[in-house]
Amino acid sequence: MALRSLVRGSVAYSIGNLLPRVGNFLLLPIYVHFLSPADFGSIALVTSVSSLLAIGFRLGLDGSLMRLYFTSPDPRHQNRLLTTVATVTTIAAAIGAGLTAWLSWLFFAQLFAGLEFWPFGAFAVAIAFATTFVYLPATLFRAREQPLAFLSFTAGQFAVTAAVTLLLVVAMHAGAVGALLGQLAGGLAILLVSAVLVWRAGGLALDRGLASEALRFGLPLVPHGISGWVLSVSDRWLLGFLLPLSAALARAQIGVYSLGYQLAYVVDLVAQSINAAWVPFFYRYGSTEQGPRIHREMLTVVTAAFAAVIAALSINANLAVAIIARPQFAEAARVVPIVGLGFEAHIVYIWMVTVVFHARRTAMLPLISGASGAVNVAVNIVLIPRFGIQGAAWATLASFTAIAVMTTWYAYRVYPVTVDWLRLAVLLAGTAGAAAYGLAATGGLSAGRILLDLALSALFAGAALTVARSPAVRLRTLTREATRSLAQAPTNA
């Protein structure tokens, strides 16, 4: 996989992962006309529950499938791996859905004031079961280096979700329930695609040896995934518990916070999309002599690119919220710069954790993510009662910084990591300055202020690209050298 293929794959994966998010942004002006902040809050709470359940249902096999797919080039072995992890996932998801449905029926209303098990708890379980299987086609297309198939899959899933949601929310005025039915429809589309892929590979079957190997690799990732959920989603729960407001008003604040978080989350989504192409690329080149330097330059390049995006979002947050949403959501602009800084730290984590996966040294990851999750909960408990949704945003920044620092420390212990600390420090400091500017912004959105903010964003982007220019040139050279080394390896052997 040459560097050009990495770029092409990154573009396709980025479009595929961004399409649902961009589509939702384009549809958001329509949604806010029919959904209140409290509706958004209810949807955010149910979605947070379903995402947590799906982590448990998958048993970490999403990580196993990608890593173990490359252990053998034999298509028969790869098909057995696919059918085995699909079988184990089906059993785990069926048992898990039954148990959680029963427990939710007993306790859902106590956990989420104002939301009853029917229909909200039932939707949470059903959506979790259906979306558990999303990793099968997504990982398979990535492992086979089929970015167009990945793009078609995500586009189809989004089309189903959007069509059903628009029909129910806009045409039938079904509110939050309609939006959740749209998510469930998208999940059922995932199930259909997954079933077809597994059937083509031979149908559900269980290879005990492969199942054991996959679970040994994957199970340690479950607490890691749960800790990641705590880092990214638990603040919605904590806002509901800790805001000194009635249940309805708290859900409205959760809706406002969710909008600000989603605006900043676009950065992390693009980073994960590029990472989808980067992971198999690095698995191929990471063991070469050039591997550590390839990782170093790639980290600098992606940090520079996303620093420019985060700075633009932070500087223009008020404008973005004003364009997308009604005045009831205006406070979301105060969330964007803080969460954006958190995602800049998370990008560093994403690139460092790839090194850990490459080294197959995942045992420490649950401890690292667990400690970072504890930071998130502790800071939320301290700051939410005093600062409301901004307190939750600061907790996101604190916890993402913690996981980036700890993972970087661990990556140094398992791989010959090198980092261009000077360039990274300049980029991070500049992004922090842009976030401070965005938070300090007061007054209306005059034409002069909008032009000034856009000019500052362009200036920052130019500076970031200048910082990344030399690392990008070196990255291209190193990749060519590593490709030649791999091509000569069988001959030299």
Is 234 among the domain residues? yes
Residue 401 shares a structural domain with residue 329: yes
Q: What is the model's pLDDT at position 492?
A: 42
Is 493 among the domain residues? no
Residue 142 shares a structural domain with residue 243: no
CA atoms of 388 and 236, how far apart (whole Å): 11
Q: What is the model's pLDDT at position 277?
A: 74
pTM of the model: 0.77
Residue 123 shares a structural domain with residue 269: no
Is 490 among the domain residues? no
Pull the structure tokens for residue 185.
């429809």
Residue 241 shares a structural domain with residue 156: no
Q: What is the model's pLDDT at position 1?
A: 46
Residue 237 shares a structural domain with residue 119: no
Q: What is the model's pLDDT at position 7?
A: 60
286 φ, ψ to 5°?
-65, -30
Tell me which residue range forms the domain holding 284.
220-483
Q: What is the model's pLDDT at position 141?
A: 83
Is 378 among the domain residues? yes
Residue 391 shares a structural domain with residue 447: yes
Residue 129 shares a structural domain with residue 252: no
Is 459 among the domain residues? yes
Residue 169 shares a structural domain with residue 244: no
Q: What is the model's pLDDT at position 348?
A: 92
442 φ, ψ to 5°?
-130, 170
Residues of the chain by 3-state class (helix, strand, coil), percent to 5: 85, 0, 15
Separation of first and last alpha carbons in the chain: 21
Residue 112 shares a structural domain with residue 11: yes
What domain count does the chain have?
2
Report residues of the chain scoring pLDDT below 50.
Answer: 1, 491-493
Pull the structure tokens for residue 196.
């077809």
Residue 226 shares a structural domain with residue 310: yes
**The one-letter amino acid at 316:** N
